[in-house]
């Protein structure tokens, strides 16, 4: 996938990312304080994942790959580069249950609902109430710093 570029988006690009999310069926949006990681091929947006800070907890949110680009390794590239940026920060995510192995390969492990922060327990209850089969996953502190796979964009 040498033609795929991974980088951190600028806030000026957030409308483009919101439009891609909508086209891909995701309604979670992008907040001004999010750190948004993107995968591109030329001008084409292939994938997005966001790092958010909610209730002082680092979260992986909104991991989406364009439907035409799924199962080509772009999601794995994006997730692995995202994780490399976490360094010594614990991180949670709430994926669909069938993605457990995918996130597990990047060091996320299942968390019991009772061990997760309260706001995540509430979120999971809401998602499950909508019929979504989700689980809470946690990635512990990574004390080994790895070089970044992302380039920091400047506005």
Burial class (CB in 10 A: 0-12, 13-18, 19+), 16: middle
Contact by Cβ (8 Å): 30, 14: yes
The pLDDT of 138-155, averaged and rounded, is 56
Query: What residues does 36 pair with on adjacent strands?
Result: 50
Q: Is the dihedral of CA 101, 79, 62, 93 positive or negative?
A: positive
| 120-138 confidence digits (pLDDT tens) | 999 999 999 999 999 999 9
pLDDT at 2: 57
**Whole-number average pLDDT of the chain:** 89
Q: Taking the CB of residue 72, how many other CB atoms lie within 10 A of it?
A: 14
**48 vs 154: CA distance, rounded Å:** 18
In the chain, where are the structural domains located? 5-139
CATH number at 5-139:
3.40.630.30
In the predicted model, is pLDDT for residue 152 greater than 50? no
| 70-123 confidence digits (pLDDT tens) | 999 999 999 998 999 888 899 999 999 999 999 999 999 999 889 999 999 999
pLDDT at 155: 41
**14 vs 141: CA distance, rounded Å:** 29
Q: Taking the CB of residue 6, how many other CB atoms lie within 10 A of it?
A: 21
pLDDT at 142: 55
């Amino acid at each position: 996938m040498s033609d795929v570029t991974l980088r951190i988006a600028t806030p000026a690009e957030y409308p483009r990312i919101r439009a891609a999310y909508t086209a891909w069926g995701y309604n979670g949006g992008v907040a001004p304080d999010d750190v948004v990681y993107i995968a591109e091929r030329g001008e084409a947006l292939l994938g997005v994942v966001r790092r958010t800070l909610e209730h002082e907890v680092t979260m992986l949110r909104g991991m989406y790959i364009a439907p035409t680009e799924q199962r080509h390794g772009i999601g794995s590239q994006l997730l692995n580069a995202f994780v490399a940026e976490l360094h010594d920060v614990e991180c949670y995510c709430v994926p669909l249950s069938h993605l457990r192995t995918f996130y597990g390969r990047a060091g996320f492990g299942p968390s019991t609902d009772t061990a997760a922060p309260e706001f995540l327990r509430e979120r999971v209850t809401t998602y499950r109430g909508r019929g979504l089969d989700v689980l809470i996953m946690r990635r512990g502190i990574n004390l080994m710093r790895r070089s970044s796979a992302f380039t920091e964009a400047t506005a």
